[in-house]
Amino acid sequence: MAEEFHQGAVADPHNPDRGIRGAKMIHEPGETGETATISCGTTKGPFVAKFHRDWSPNGYDRATALFQKGFFDHSHFFRVVPNFLVQFGISYSENKGLQQFSRTQVADDPVPDPKIPFHKGIMSFAGNGPNSRTSQMFISYGSHPNLGKELWETPFGEVVEGMEHIEELYSYGDMPPWGKGPVQGKIHSGPDYINDNFPLIDKFEECRVIIHKPDDHAPSAKEDENDQGEGNDQKEKEEEEDADTTEEEVEKREEKEDKEEEEAEEEIGRPELHNRREIRDFKNAQDNADDPVELEQRQLIAAEKELSGFEDIMQVSAVVAGIVLMVLGVAALSRRSRTKKHKN
């Protein structure tokens, strides 16, 4: 049944014939478009989400593919802001191909008509500009008038079970400077940063995916049974095929990743975000026309420049102080020499 999977509903979107980890396709009566059911365990308890391709085709394809590939398994809910949202999407996977795929940007989708309002449990990508969606997502803790105004925030799904567990996720507050939570840039180095400094933060366990097709094809009971039997072998098959990579491809990927890491270090503190208008209003920093992401970036860059300028001043001051001491020393020696000659 591999030919019936949509490109975004496969483990590898570039190879529709590859196996899907723990996923199967079932008939969904009454649905007009493809949907997916995502069942995940967390350290607070399980939850179930339903994704709708009609809402956001590109967003649905990327989100479903990442969950099917196990991208989020054992990753942290690193940003939990009570009464606002919970954010996740930085993976610890050692699969370089998967990490590279997760960093490719996804084109924005048209706003659906009618527009989907944000309420408790709505899921969307985080982003920082047009066509900036990659792997970071958030779950809304409630309705918010400013969420969903940007194209990259078009919802692709919602939590349908276990929202009480999502609301129980531990929070250290927002990220600095607004809270005492983790710095996103440091999470990419691995789980130790959070485990050592934020041990109470909750995380995913494992997720499973079921793809639901519309009424155009209802698989037979035998096909459905075969799908269930094959699902247990899909993860092993996928890992074997991921390992079948040439040394040249690995070297190219590593060079690209090294370059990206260098760029990331230069832009530390500039993470992907949803709209930060709530914080902007609280800070009274900008008017309603400003993009809170750009505001946050400007604030961080200004702080870095201010710190850099302070360090430069300190270095110059140290040099000047050294010169002054040297001059005073020479002057003192000169006075002593003149005094000695005068006495003689």
pLDDT digits (tens, 9 = 90+) for 97-147: 999 999 999 999 998 888 899 999 999 999 999 999 999 999 999 988 778
Percent residues over pLDDT 90 in the chain: 47
Q: Which residues of the chain form beta strands (DSSP E)? A: 24-27, 35-42, 47-52, 79-81, 85-88, 122-125, 137-140, 157-161, 204-213
The C-alpha angle 258, 262, 265, rounded to 5 degrees, equals 135
Collapsed DSSP state (helix, strand, coil) of residue 160: strand
**Cβ atoms 107, 51 nearer than 8 A:** no
Collapsed DSSP state (helix, strand, coil) of residue 207: strand
- Kindly tell me the sign of the dihedral angle through the C-alpha atoms of 29, 30, 32, 35: negative
Question: What is d(CA 155, CA 176) in angstroms, rounded to the nearest whole number?
Answer: 26
Question: What is d(CA 19, CA 9) in angstroms, rounded to the nearest whole number?
Answer: 11
Structure token pair of residue 116 = 């989907």
Tell me, what's the pLDDT at 328?
A: 80
pLDDT at 11 over 50: no
Digit-coded pLDDT (tens) for 317-329: 777 777 878 878 7
Question: What is d(CA 253, CA 309) in angstroms, rounded to the nearest whole number?
Answer: 36
The set of residues, in sequence order, having a beta carbon less than 8 Å from that of 190 and lying 6+ positions away, is 92
Question: What is d(CA 49, CA 166) in angstroms, rounded to the nearest whole number?
Answer: 11
Q: Specify the residue for token string 């870095």.
A: 304
Question: What is d(CA 305, CA 308) in angstroms, rounded to the nearest whole number?
Answer: 5
Question: What is d(CA 243, CA 247) in angstroms, rounded to the nearest whole number?
Answer: 11
DSSP secondary structure of 84-103: TEEEE-------HHHHHHHH
Q: Specify the residue for token string 């098959």.
A: 237
Is residue 30 left, alpha or beta, with left meaning phi > 0 and alpha meaning psi from -120 to 50? left
Q: How far is CA 234 from the centre of its chain?
A: 26
User: Could you state, in order of their start, the residue ranges of all structural domains in the chain?
Assistant: 2-269
The CATH classification number of 2-269 equals 2.40.100.10
Radius of gyration of the chain (CA): 27
pLDDT at 8 over 50: no
pLDDT at 161 over 60: yes
Question: What is d(CA 181, CA 175) in angstroms, rounded to the nearest whole number?
Answer: 4
Q: What is the mean pLDDT of residues 65-83?
A: 97
Backbone angles phi and psi of 36, in degrees to 5:
-140, 140
With residue 124 as reference, give the H or E element that holds it.
Answer: strand 122-125
pTM: 0.60
Q: Specify the residue for token string 């939850």.
A: 47
